[in-house]
Amino acid sequence: MQGAFEEHMRALEAAGARTRLVRTREDLEELDGIVLPGGESTTMTMLMERVGLLEPVREAIQAGLATLATCAGMVVLAREITDGMPEQKGLGLLDIGVRRNGYGRQVESFESPLHIEGMDGTDFPGVFIRSPLVERTGDVKVMATYDGHPVAVRQGRIVALCFHPELTSDLRLHREFVRLAASR
Ligand code: GLN
């Protein structure tokens, strides 16, 4: 609906997947995976609600659609949102609590190498842009932390990241996601 979807499409195609934009509920049919990109979570949920996509997307993810959520996408998925718009609705499917823009004004954007569990090779370049801060985790697996807070989590077939792999040339996380989406 909004945000950094083109960059994700490029990265997924480079990782061997075919992609399409999801703008109606019909677009959800026969997908192996879905990406909830970075952007502006309030705008995204508002648009999703307006076109009637919020419920169908919730149902599809609940039914096991592989999901990669980055930054605003993580906010949209989170069970609790602090510092959102009043009444900010979301999907509420991921058992974490996030503070929107939680890394603060002074460091709205920064980069840091991240050690990601189970990933071979060098650290992953973490690009953070007004990222949500994960303040609570429930029944999720933490895959990476920065400054003592989770920045990558996995819950079943959902992978959620505070940072933006689609803005780097490192395809490892997209390749991993393509493998996850294909595994069913
Ligand atoms: N601050 C944005 C939000 O809460 C997320 C920023 C991003 O996706 N880069 O929606």
> pLDDT of 106-152, one tens digit each?
668 999 999 999 999 999 999 999 999 999 999 999 999 999 999 99
Any catalytic annotation for residue 164? Answer: yes
Distances (CA, A) of 102 to 83, 128, 133, 136: 8, 11, 5, 13
Per-residue pLDDT tens for 45-95? Answer: 999 999 999 999 999 999 999 999 999 999 999 999 999 888 778 999 999
Token output for 90: 């979301």
CA dihedral (29, 12, 9, 19) positive or negative: negative
Per-residue pLDDT tens for 6-54? Answer: 999 999 999 999 999 999 999 999 999 999 999 999 999 999 999 999 9
Give helix then strand counts, H and E, for the chain.
5, 10
Instruction: Give distance in angstroms: CA of 73 to centre of ligand 1.
Output: 8
User: Which domain, by its residues, includes 140?
Assistant: 5-182
What pLDDT is recorded for position 106?
62
Token output for 105: 């004004």
pTM: 0.96
What pLDDT is recorded for position 93?
98
Any catalytic annotation for residue 26? Answer: no
Q: Which of 8, 162, 166, 174 is catalytic?
A: 166
Tally the domains of the chain: 1
Any catalytic annotation for residue 117? Answer: no
- Res. 1 pLDDT band, cuts 50 70 90: confident
